[in-house]
Chain A
Amino acid sequence: MFTRMDAPVALGARGAAGDAPALALSLIVNGRRERLSVDARVTLLDLLRERLGLTGAKKGCDQGQCGACTVLVGGRRVLSCLTLAAAVREEVTTIEALAGSDGPLHPMQQAFIDHDAFQCGYCTPGQILSAIACVQEGHADSDESIREWMSGNLCRCAAYPQIVAAIRQAREQIARPADGSAA
């Protein structure tokens, strides 16, 4: 049978827009359990940005073509703009979780700075999460492989050579899980 996603809300209750049922969600974002009620149409990207104040993931094309919204779900890189928040069943990791406000940066963040791997920075959070996954999947062994496996992240400023150089630097400092899945 079905799991009624709106169980905690009275059946037939309508969301704020007055036209769609509200769904009660419970999901883990950056190690924290979040419980909230959303319209069924809300994407993971909009949930992160508009409801949880995590504005690191960017809305570029909103059509799955640019990669600016890349986050990790269950350790795998996905496009949060094409993911319904209601369909998320594993832990979500965003750019905000990579380093404390005060501590050292994640090796991939530091490498992007060291190699000047951005200009405007809009695509950078997606690039960095995708790059970490690229290394952990074992796809960063050569420049050619990095370019192929980073092709889902567009950079309008065309910092591509610097991004490849940053990944080359950071890959030595990032542990790869034995099974090849991202952590």
Chain B
Amino acid sequence: MRPFEYLRADSAQAAVAAAGAAGAEGATLAATQFIAGGTTLLDLMKLDVMRPKRLIDLNALEAEYHQIRVDAQGLWLGALVRMSAAAGHPRIVQDYPVLAQSLQLAASAQLRNMASLAGNVLQRTRCNYFRDPSYAECNKRSPGSGCAAILGRNRKLAVLGVSEHCIAHYPGDLAQALVALEASVELLGRHGRRSLLLQELHRPPGDTPHVETALGSDELIVGFRVPARAWVRRSLFLKIRDRSSFEFALASAAVALDLAQDVVRQARIALGGVATRPWRAHEAEALLEGQPFDEAQARAAAEAAFASAVTHGDNDFKPELGRRTLVRALLECAALPI
């Protein structure tokens, strides 16, 4: 690990002031990095993928960052809430099952005790070419160097939202659950607070795959707001992976349905393991809404969700796995006794 300066922030304002002006390189390549649980950052620093000059420890920040609040309007999840705390929170388990399940199925008990929710949402791809600097080519790690994955081993990589410059997958689970529930993320920067829909936080790779999010390098996630809409209770997270625990998704689906008898009033769907960022499946939602729900309808929605898929050899199996994952998730969600 390369040397760095370590500072502990006693206030969020001090943290964002010290992080400096937002640079064009994007938050993920910035010389100053915020650290909470550290489970992504220290891992990537040991691998020499991330080389920050300065770490700002956020763990001492005020209460708002550590709180879970539930009321009639919805849910507030502080940025520094640990995954395990949210996963086991009785009101989240009962009223926002897709959120609790996405967390319970992620990582290991130890990592869930360490990782913050904001850090989890910002976790980096597991693309092996990104994680191994002995490969010179990686547009995400080293802008303009090329992509070794497109013609390389790409079994785990994305089929939705890819570009000719990057096919790295977004590996997390929680972000899909938050996107499906139309959560927003609250940010603090040097020029104050702003809020955006979580689905606008992660950027498509395009021709700048190293700029992964809409965050400025001076911006800090304060927390997440999840509106208490009609679909939150009939929701679930389905994760398909190579082993049954402590593994990233090959394909996942976060689904939430508002049903009236057998008719879908509203559907919210986000897909994971298959896309370059947390993937909102608008086309699939549109096919379901206003229609009686059955398996044929679910299948049609899954076809629509993957209509734009582009594969690269090893990951040719992913569109069909993703479709089946979504069909099963929709069938199970519609059958929930609520």
Contact = CB atoms under 8 A, between A and B. Distances in A.
6 contacts: A43-B42, A62-B46, A63-B47, A67-B108, A134-B109, A150-B109
Interface of B: 1, 3-11, 14, 18, 35, 38-39, 42-43, 46-47, 55, 57, 59-60, 84, 88, 107-111, 113-114, 245-246
A20 B4 contact: yes
A86 to B, nearest CB: 5
A152 B7 contact: no
Interface stretch (A27-35, A77-85, A100-108, A113-121): A77-85
A84 B52 CA distance: 15
B7 A5 contact: yes
A67 B110 contact: yes
Given A79-B114, A152-B108, 20 more contacts: A1-B11, A2-B8, A2-B14, A3-B8, A17-B3, A20-B3, A20-B4, A40-B6, A41-B1, A63-B46, A64-B39, A64-B110, A82-B38, A84-B38, A84-B55, A87-B59, A130-B110, A137-B109, A147-B245, A152-B107
B46 A148 contact: no
A165 B322 CA distance: 37
For chain B, what secondary structure do more than half of its interface residues adopt (helix, strand, loop), or is it mixed?
A: mixed
Nearest to B82: A76
B108 to A, nearest CB: 3
Contacts of A20: 3-4
A77 B108 CA distance: 10
A89 interface: yes
Nearest to A70: B110
Contact of A151 (B14, B47, B246): B246
A14 to B, nearest CB: 9
Contacts of B88: 180
A78 B47 CA distance: 20
A32 to B, nearest CB: 23
A47 interface: no
Given A63-B46, A130-B109, A78 B57 contact: no
A172 B8 CA distance: 42
Nearest to B9: A2
Contact of A3 (B1, B10, B43): B10
